[in-house]
Structure 1
Amino acid sequence: LFFVIWTLLTLHVFAQGRNLLGKEMDSNYKFQLDHSLGLSGELGRIFDSGDNCDFSVVVRDPREDQAEQKTVCVHRLILSLYPQFNISDSNKDHTVEISQNCHPHISSFLRYLYTRKIDITLSSAQCLHQLSYIYQLQQLLEEIGRIFTLLLPQDSTFRTQVSLYEYGVRTKDMLLQENVLQYLSWNFESLVDSPA
């Protein structure tokens, strides 16, 4: 396998070189190198290590006292790429107010800001969607919205589906409401027999 890949790469480079033959290369000719493939992983390791972090994200439930808050140390430079966080030089921290059940998912959300990669589970989908909504991360918001439809069949108690519908009503997400209602109508008999 290695030999086949090596041969194909050699042939590709040779073909590219042949295309350059007959073309005059001057000092402005550019060869593009792209080594960004590992960048996401490296940025993830920076987040995971917490080394040289210089900014705090304070997470608290607006309905509870300050004792239940969580603090995550991040890098100002990374968050400054997202203007919706309103990061300024004078700020030392940023407070996120979100329900206690979403606190375990804050780190994976913040790590997404570094890496653009995230794992979505049945238990994290709604929280991550809500954080994406709050911080206007449209691409993540839309992707999680599509994932919701895949997660609907995963809960036979129908609690998740009812919760997602209520969430859709609160956030005025008509597509989510429509998808949940359609799923519930297809599974009406099971819904009636469920504890939800």
Structure 2
Amino acid sequence: MVKPSPIHGVLFLMEVAAAGLLKADVSPPDGGDTISHPLTLVQRLEALLLQANGSDVTLRVETPNADEVKVIQAHSLVLSLQSPVFQEMLRSRNSSTVVLGESSDCAAVFDKFIRYLYCGEISLRLDQATPLHKLATKYQVLSLQRGITHYMTQNLARDSPSGQVAGWYEYALQVGDITLRDSCLQFLAWNLSSVLQSGEWISISSELLMTLLGRSDLVLHSEVELFTALEAWIVQNEPDSLTAENALRAVRYAMMPPRELFRLQTQSTVLARYQESVRDLLYMSFQFHSASPLQMAKYFDVNCSLFVPRNYLSSVWGSQWIINNPTRDDRSTSFQTQLGPSSHDASRRVTWNALFSPRWLPLSMRPMYTETGAMQPTRVDGGRPRIIITPATSSADFAGVNFQKTVLVMAQQQGRLVVKHVYNFHQSTEENGDFLSDANLYRRTSEYLVDGSLFLHVVVKPLYQSLITTKN
């Protein structure tokens, strides 16, 4: 074991300060003033690394084929302080040189990784996030690991030539990063319509494909749009028959109008090839469109996802709602939707009235009354936003149909308008309790505001209660 040199004591103080353990904003116990130069310390630490002053360990980074070698002069105290893996490795070494085997992508960013250990900061591009996360995970540098996970979740919407969200999802699944995995999957589901148009769609794995196809919260224009994209994926990837059949069986054909079903049967080469595997679904879908859903339910058990709508952006199922200056007054709008997805209900329309209130008070914050009827004073600084959606016609016309309302809330991220939140309710967002709770619409720079306006999309999802008995 190499004995530490005097410079290690200086390094320790610098590292503690750079890590923020010596707080610059905390006054000394004697009540005096504080002089703080944290940037100077970071600059000195960086210089220490670049100039290799007092270095006592050499890191030799090799790729599997030994086609690339990086040599970094470092300091064992800094490495040990930041990484328990390095600490154990350096404790048991018998040479001043430590050989590290890394993949090519990790070797390419290893100097950035080491610089973070010295300076506590890092600059990176989208394509460097995964290898840096790998290094942070391998060497158990938890602060960097969490920081890169946060970076990735905040940059899901950023444009790149081939897309990055699907790749990040696969990586998160591999390393068990639940936060990143769930964030990527949610982004893909809630922004699927734009994902289908990107180069990223064709390259997704069959496992991710099946995960997405099974979800009812997919946001896209229509089920036809999803089938068209699936067809392109099958043609491009040529999966085995079982994978293709399972994917095609996850399409909700009953949500397509009969004219589209006829067109697909006559024009789709993929459907022609696998028609036997989905024949029963097409048959049930045509029956669904030809008879009253209540009548059909008397003879067939059709409680399955085939008859559950997704979050379709088509005007048949909802309407965009742009609310200008959403912090001022109540706003209202009206729109129409088809009574149900069955063609039996194609000519029947439901008119909906929607009310947006920026300062609604929840029950727990409303004024209380005493036994004598006098109002109990209650101090309230402000209410929360809420949306109420009610039908303009009698509910007697909706026999057997229950409506789930969904509000898609958009946000501006990386210059793009993306779906940030999806709220499901039956009449009012009061049922959620957290509707726009973190939006802070009073802040001009809020990501939820585009030129001072709130961008929403209201979707009405009709569910035939005699058919659907379980939530999907």
> Counterpart of 1:180?
184
* Contact residue 40 and residue 115 of structure 1 kept, 8 A: yes
Deviates more, 1:99-108 or 1:34-43: 34-43
3-state SS of paired residue (1:58) = strand
Q: CA deviation at 1:32?
A: 8.3
Q: What is the SS of the residue equivalent to 1:71?
A: strand
**Match of residue 100 from structure 1:** 104
Deviations 1:45-84 (A, max 9, x none): 11122234231212223xx322322221212232232332
**Deviation at residue 36 of structure 1 after TM alignment:** 5.5
In structure 2, distance between residues paired with 1:36 and 1:137: 25
Is the 2:84–2:139 Cα contact (8 Å) retained in structure 1? no
Letter in 2 for 1:144: I
Task: Please tell me the root mean square deviation across aligned C-alpha atoms, in Å.
Answer: 2.6
Amino acid at match of 1:87: L
**Residue in structure 2 matched with residue 58 of structure 1 by the alignment:** 60
1:76 is aligned to 2:66: no
Report if aligned partners of 2:62, 2:102 keep a CA contact under 8 Å in 1.
yes
In 2, are the aligned partners of 1:59 and 1:103 still within 8 Å (CA)?
yes
Give SS of 1:108's match. helix
- Equivalent position amino acid for 2:141 in 1: L
Q: Distance in 2 between matches of 1:125 and 1:112?
A: 14
Give the corresponding residue for 1:162.
Answer: 166
Q: For 1:91 and 1:35, locate their aligned partners in 2 and report how far apart those are by CA, in whole Å.
A: 39
Deviation string 1:9-61 (CA, Å, 9 cap, x unpaired) is xxxxxxx9xxxxxxxxxxxx797866562212101111122234231212223
Q: Do structure 1's residue 110 and structure 2's residue 114 form an aligned pair? A: yes
Residue identity matched to 2:125: T
Residue 87 of structure 1 corresponds to: 90
**What percent of counterpart residues are identical?**
28
Query: Within 1, Cα distance between the matches of 2:70 and 2:115?
Result: 15
Q: Distance in 2 between matches of 1:157 and 1:182?
A: 21
Q: Decide which of 119, 127, 130 is 2:131's aligned counterpart.
A: 127
Letter in 2 for 1:159: G
Deviations 1:111-164 (A, max 9, x none): 111111112321221111111111111111111111111221123445311210
Q: 1:133 and 1:114 mapped to 2: Cα distance?
A: 17
The verdict on how the C-alpha distance between 1:93 and 1:138 changes in structure 2, with shifts beyond 3 A counting, is same
> Are 1:152 and 2:153 counterparts?
no
1:167 offset after TM fit, Å? 0.5
What is the aligned residue count?
168
Which secondary structure does the structure 2 equivalent of 1:67 belong to?
coil
Task: Give the drift of 1:187.
Answer: 2.1
User: Would the alpha carbon gap of residues 159 and 95 (structure 1) be closer, same or farther in structure 2, given more than 3 Å must change?
Assistant: farther
The question of whether the paired residues in 2 share the 8 Å contact of 1:155 and 1:161 is answered with no
Q: Is the Cα contact below 8 Å between 1:55 and 1:73 reproduced in 2?
A: yes
Q: CA-to-partner distance for each residue in 1:62-109, whole Å, 9 max, x for gaps? A: xx3223222212122322323321213633233333321222211111
CA distance in 2, matches of 1:66, 1:190: 41
Which residue of structure 2 aligns with residue 8 of structure 1?
none
Q: Secondary structure at the match of 2:157?
A: helix
Cα distance, 1:30–1:150 mapped onto 2, change above 3 Å: closer
Where does residue 67 of structure 2 map in the other structure? Answer: 67
Kindly provide the amino acid, as one letter, of the partner of residue 113 in structure 2.
Answer: F
Counterparts in 2 of 1:158 and 1:188: CA distance versus 1, 3 Å: farther
In structure 1, C-alpha distance between the alignment counterparts of 2:186 and 2:162, rounded to whole Å: 13
TM-score (norm 1): 0.74
Contact residue 54 and residue 75 of structure 2 kept, 8 A: yes
Quick one: distance in 1 between partners of 2:139 and 2:196? 37
Asked whether the equivalents of residues 84 and 140 of structure 2 are also in contact (C-alpha less than 8 Å), the reply is no
Q: What letter matches 2:76 in structure 1?
A: R
Kindly tell me: are residues 87 and 31 of structure 1, through their superposed partners in 2, closer, same or farther at Cα, counting changes over 3 Å? farther
Match of 1:47 in 2: 49
The structure with higher relative contact order (CA 8 Å, sep 6+) is 1
Counting helix residues as a fraction of each chain, which structure ranks higher?
A: 1
SS of the residue 2:199 aligns to? coil
Q: Is the 8 A contact 1:105 1:128 kept in 2?
A: yes
* 3-state SS of 2:61 partner: strand
Choose 1 or 2 for highest CA Rg.
2
Measure, in 2, the Cα distance between the counterparts of 1:186 and 1:174: 18
